[in-house]
Chain A
């Protein structure tokens, strides 16, 4: 039963993609139905797992895949955080994508790779050691490339090429580090508080330990778009809106951040990372990324690019939170993993709606769209306020935790970084809202009917609602905050 639950979590979307690849392009209804059923089924499994892991259940699948390395899937609270985030957002995005792509060509191929990408995200979440993590991490690259180039325009092809260059080079670095790890240590299992055999080895060979840590970090940083490795993210925005929404704001970049969480907390262990001062140079780098991303976002004319730079900076919030020592910043980082996902996906879906209905892609085309599409604009505004960190939203929560964490760690400079970035984000998000609401539309032709099809309207409204809901729920209620507290208590109680 337990194994079945874990396997079905991983394989349900894989089977969907296999099934769809044999369906004819015209079988829209059946395809959508299968997609939706699988998405709901997955949520059900996630709920079951959340409940039983909370009661202390242990789930794992482990077998020796090659002589050195095991294929190891495990369900721990941290994995469940990522799993529940991505299966929920998967459902949302699937609904949105069905509406968005209505009538577009090649939907079959789109959903095949979309489901493959979700499979790999699940694998990334459930991976119990670095080897398994790597398998799915690379599978994610492979399954998202076709989504980036989905439109097949020259621009998309070029973006896809750049995406491949970055991720394949990152993957090679990852593979090298992984092989070195296996040859030197022979084990890459994630343990709460750090892998003991790795710890022993690093203490003996501090130089190699350091190199390996940085190697792993930068291999993941490619996907998390840390400063010099962010070029692909901004270009990959040529993909269709649902792809940008789920994959480039949530799945791919978060996979990188999630990997860093596993690396810092469960492979090396916080103690080792702190005592060897591995985190400091990286913290400065991510702080720079936060500022750089926010700053660049202000000047982007293309709306999706603006969000891409904002993603870059917010991903570094998470990474900085991971790197700063102490419980509070960890909580902030984990919370932001979830919260940023919910907020950013809302923004992307709203932009998708603008683009779909009125062809708005650039900042200057926004004039008056807000009045024609009030509900979308409300969702956009709420999510923007969240990202800025206004009270009553989830963004406020994470910001408070991150700031408190920075203070507790004695790294006051980080607080200023968060402040400045907040101010910058006012500058890159609010003008969009104002221009949409108060700009004078050049052609005052309002299209008839609902602003967009309900399939595209309801998903952003739900996520926008959650942005508010999780922000004002009391700490006792069932919410990501509570789960994160549970994880952190467990992790820091571990030693």
Chain B
């Protein structure tokens, strides 16, 4: 069987079918195109400035390893003039973090970058294993996500760095868009797709240079570049909405590979449709509450989950007496067959201007001084709950 030639160089044999558009490429051309596309994303959105110190949020997984390798390559090739540092968070999950941190340590040597590791235990007094032992496996991703976001920012601050890049890819962003639609979460929908988050007023900004890169291509890139990454998934399952959105997206990708990017595009456009959101989605807004991580998911691949979060929201929707939902508040229908309409209906979709979605105003947490839209930041709230339940150990 004669193999087709690479669609780009037309010399080498095509070995790779690009997951994104089924283009047939040779290894060298694939790597080149993948790098060029990320370079385009970086330059077109003006992500970095010369001399900037950048902390790469490194978990040892494929996304952040590819990001670190890629940024090193592009920084050298295009002379970005960036000062790159690896920043790792030790959540304290035995059998997952220990090994992946070893990977990050090797990466630091391979890419000749300084490495800083910040532990949940030193930041919060709790490791994730201890959290799970206390609250069970249900909903622990919320804790992990909230803690990690702060941890990365705090770690960056310790290093005096104002810009953290993370390995979130197109699949993650698409997943977030679908998840926010399912949850009916307009504030998050209005900012979840931004390439840069964290407000201008906040001390640390975040960006996702791999926002348009397909997860499958990241895996291919890591494979063909023979990158050293850690491929075991997080032991704890993802939150149900995310898990559900994830499996939906995988099915959509099978039907039409472009669907992932199309969802990202839809998400960006829909962000501008959220009432009260006048800012362009590509730039950060002041409303970006820091404690509310728009990417709470971790790198876990499977959509397996208990479904409890969805069930809880379902129960809540029924209970909160949303008039359209709960049977108790329905339009009363009597046996005579006559229908008595409610006296006043204020929920009509009249042409009146839509109410702006409640925005958060940025302040500081009373306890830890970390940026928060609430008096007490999410992490401190979660910690308070945890500490209440912590058994008192007397020596």
Partners in one complex: no
